[in-house]
Structure 1
Amino acid sequence: MNAEPREVAAVGEDRRLDLELGATAVLAILFLVLRLLAVSRWDWPTVTAVADTFDFGDTFAIAFGTIAEQPWLTGVFTALLLPLVLLRILWPLPEHRGQLAFTTLLGALVLVTIAVAMTVTYANPWTLLGAAGFGALLVAIRVFAHNTRLRQLADTLTGRIALIAGLCVLLLAVLDDTPWTIREQIVTDRDVLTGYVLEESPGFLHVLTDDRDVLIIPTVDVTARTALD
């Protein structure tokens, strides 16, 4: 008698997982496209040239570089998202009880890691303090502000974590125009230029200059390369 409801529940879980995976894939692709556009400063010929050097093996470096290059924005977004995710796990809304997803747990782990790493790296506790303060505010609203617009806003934020997180990621992609490789000074037989080596193919360097021109330089012409801060 109970087999059919269980099968329906299993189908529902599979569909929800498929939707989550599909949405994550779309977000990842859109993130990469926006990063290419931002790095190229929205110049389509430059976008095309940069895309020719792109390797999906660079995806992790691109994601990590985006977080590291915008520490203040990353800190603010982390301070906002971390309390929402923890509340979703520890004090879920009635409609979310019994629906804890693996992606939510993974998101909490990633956000905690980012908050701690930024605190240690920059010796700046404001991300953790901001998360604690925002979390305390949300808890106070849910405890004391019953049936108010403020409570509705807090519940809406808690229930739309995935959407908010996706918007934050895309905003970071748009605002960060720094490439994901180290900025270098490259000395050749004819010139000295500064930029970012996007690809080292056999015999050639593909360099994105500070002026956002993509140059292909024979490695035999390169006499020195120096990493810049």
Structure 2
Amino acid sequence: MTADPDASDRGPSEGRELSVQLGTTASVAVLFLVLRMLAVAHWDWHTVAAIADTFDFSDAFPIAFGTVVGQPVLTGVFIALLLPIVLMRVVWPMDRHRGTITVSIVLGAVTLLTMALSMTVTFGNPSTFLGAAAVGLVIAAMRLWWRTGAVHDVLLRVSRRVSMLAAAGVLTLAAVNDVPWMGAERITTDEGVIEGYVLEAEPGFLHVLTDDREVIILPDSSVHMRELVD
């Protein structure tokens, strides 16, 4: 039996590629959290430091979800731009992409479709779908008109870099969304009513981020009532 001469090269190469992908994903995740906290703190490092003291990695999913739903207009634009590119990669791949569709691309398309549908139902406005359809028509027309040449090469590069586009969109949302990932509360204390966001609730005290982006500590004994602000 003859050994595959490419097998020894393929193994290390695939391992290095996986390591690069994992490292890139981790870097994007860290940058996302940093940008999100900076935006919430209105880019004040002292406030960021105070928020970071209360941060727990169990908050990662609420932070990510809150980033997406906190800015519906920007999220809608992001989906409208990315959805047609991802769908075309799945249902109408370019010649060099045929046979290379991955599970992550399909799941990405399903996720974007679900988000677009949810936004349409929530706000009663089909703008996201209409925008995605308009972008899709433009891309389709460009593909049909320019089958070769510089425009074709640009479309090919864009379709190859769907994950980079998605990462750029998410990081942009993180940098501009200054709404904290928890609900606003009205807290009645001995000294009056405070409106803000409870960063951490530990036995004996609360860490609260006020609307002025100041982190204060309230003893439980001074808090009489907490209620969510509509």
With the length of structure 2 as denominator, give the TM-score of the two structures. 0.91
Q: 1:113 to 1:6 in 2, by over 3 A?
A: farther
Unaligned segments of structure 2, at least 5 residues: none
Counterpart CA distance in 2 for 1:91 and 1:148 is 19
Counterpart CA distance in 1 for 2:115 and 2:8 is 39
Q: Which residue identity is paired with 1:172?
A: L
Q: Which residue of 2 aligns with 1:180?
A: 181
Q: Which residue of 2 aligns with 1:202?
A: 203
**Offset at residue 8 of structure 1 (A):** 4.2
Deviates more, 1:182-191 or 1:85-94: 85-94
Q: Which residue of 1 aligns with 2:66?
A: 65
Q: Which residue of 1 aligns with 2:121?
A: 120
**Offset at residue 162 of structure 1 (A):** 1.7
Deviates more, 1:67-76 or 1:139-148: 139-148
Q: Which residue identity is paired with 2:29?
A: A
Segments of 4+ moved more than 6 angstroms:
none
Q: Which residue of 2 aligns with 1:92?
A: 93
- Check if 1:78 corresponds to 2:79: yes
Q: Which residue of 2 aligns with 1:104?
A: 105
With the length of structure 1 as denominator, give the TM-score of the two structures. 0.92
**Offset at residue 214 of structure 1 (A):** 0.4
Q: Which residue of 2 aligns with 1:223?
A: 224
User: C-alpha deviations, 1:175-202, integer Å up to 9, x for none?
Assistant: 0011000011111011211100011011
Unaligned segments of structure 1, at least 5 residues: none
Counterpart CA distance in 2 for 1:96 and 1:147 is 15
Q: How many residue pairs get matched?
A: 229
User: C-alpha deviations, 1:146-185, integer Å up to 9, x for none?
Assistant: 3354434333322221221111111101100110000111
Counterpart CA distance in 2 for 1:38 and 1:161 is 25
Q: Which residue of 1 aligns with 2:163?
A: 162
Q: Which residue of 1 aligns with 2:53?
A: 52
Counterpart CA distance in 2 for 1:86 and 1:67 is 20
Q: Secondary structure at the match of 1:51?
A: helix
| Identity across matched positions, percent | 49
Q: 1:103 to 1:25 in 2, by over 3 A?
A: farther
Q: Which residue identity is paired with 1:56?
A: F
Deviates more, 1:192-201 or 1:148-157: 148-157
Q: Which residue of 2 aligns with 1:19?
A: 20
Q: Which residue of 2 aligns with 1:39?
A: 40
Q: Which residue identity is paired with 2:142?
A: I
Q: Which residue identity is paired with 1:206?
A: H
